[in-house]
Amino acid sequence: MDMEIFGKEQLEDLGFRLLLTGGLREEDARTIARDLVAADMRGLNSHGVSRIPMYLKRIECKCVNPRPDIRVEQVGTAVLRVDGDDGMGFLVAHKAMEEGLKLAEKTGIAMVGCTRSTHFGMSALYVKQALAKGYACMVYTNSSAALPVCGGRTAFLGAAPFAAGMPGGFESPDYLLDMAMTVTARGKIRVAMINNQPIPEGLALDQEGNPTTDAKKAFEGICLPFGGPKGAALAMLMDMMAGMYTGSNYAGDVSSLYYRFEEPQNLGHMMFIMRPDLFMSGNEYKKRMDVYYKRLKALPRAAGCDEILMPGEPEDRKTQEALKNGIALTANILDSLYLESLRRGVTCPEVFGENGRAVAADSGAVVFEKKQG
């Protein structure tokens, strides 16, 4: 597949220019552009700049408020409630984590529940925000229906990722887990659809409930939970904690990110933020993390395994590689971004060249109308 390489600043600038056309404040547009490129740099193209056309369509349809008045209310000694005012989830979640960190500094641990939010991209963004301040955290979110409950045959639960982080030690990296409750992230199936690629067996079913390797049929159908009933049960917990418990939409009521444009999503997020020095000094914590990491790296390796890695290490290495050698995007994703730029009068010769791109059709566009079975 044809790939083109770009620098971090080039893609951030393109994202910023496009997002500005949606009416966002400059600071907010820059934040979201950085977040999307950060996902591409971690190898998560499903949550990167490829999503910009879809986000802009949702703003156009008034499903998303481009200039939200995000409000924070303390509802308990160590508990905050964040009203996202239907703004971009990136802005809501960053604000929630920022305020939660301030509270946790005083109380040791803080819980933050968000409501009236929207899709917030890569969960790792907010874990990294906490890790940068030296805090441990867990981040939950619910999402639109994408997978069945155990024994069900229709989509009811969201892919609803679970993310968590523990700060590293003096000589050891942070622990950073970010995983969907599906066998593979639904966004990866979407990227395969954009790039006209098949998907492996065992990831999804089509609308008739049949196994499929056709990415488009899979995207219109249902994803499968990892670990069968275990993954489905965890997805249910994410929906209950982030959606039902916070007063957000839940139990199948979250509007589809891709196919419904009549109303805001009213998505919910939940964050738990913890100081690492609650049970010992900060130095002792770091020493213990170093011991853990050394033991992890010294474990006997299974056949075919060259190195045992801490969760988050592979993505950090991809980020460093992208900083050094650039970020690879497929031609179809670039076509989609170029056509969106043309529609919005945005010029970016640094990415598209002085004479633009030759595009035969909008092959990279998201399919916004779901084929009915």
Residue 365: per-residue pLDDT: 55
Domain termination site, one of 235, 250, 274: 274
Q: Residue 168 falls within a domain, yes or no?
A: yes
pLDDT tops 90 at residue 176:
yes
Residues 228 and 86 in one domain: yes
Residue 207: per-residue pLDDT: 85
CB < 8 Å & 24+ apart, contacts of 59-68: 59/22, 59/23, 60/22, 61/261, 61/262, 63/118, 63/255, 63/261, 63/262, 63/263, 63/264, 63/265, 64/88, 64/118, 64/264, 65/264, 66/22, 66/23, 66/24, 67/23, 67/24, 67/25, 67/28, 68/92
Residues 136 and 255 in one domain: yes
Could you read off the pLDDT of 136-157 as tens digits, one per residue? 999 999 999 989 898 887 889 9
Could you read off the pLDDT of 267-292 as tens digits, one per residue? 999 999 999 999 999 999 999 999 99
Q: Residue 192 falls within a domain, yes or no?
A: no
Residue 190: per-residue pLDDT: 80
The domain that holds 36 is classified in CATH as 1.10.1530.10
Range of the domain at 332: 3-61+326-352
Residues 246 and 153 in one domain: yes
Distance (Å, rounded) from C-alpha 342 to C-alpha 360? 14
Query: What global pTM score does this model have?
Result: 0.93
Q: Residue 312 falls within a domain, yes or no?
A: no
pLDDT tops 60 at residue 364:
no
Residues 85 and 233 in one domain: yes
Residue 188: per-residue pLDDT: 82
Residues 55 and 82 in one domain: no
Could you read off the pLDDT of 183-212 as tens digits, one per residue? 887 778 888 888 888 999 888 888 888 889
- Average pLDDT of the residues of the chain: 93
Residues 124 and 143 in one domain: yes
Highest mean pLDDT among 247-251, 258-262, 363-367: 247-251
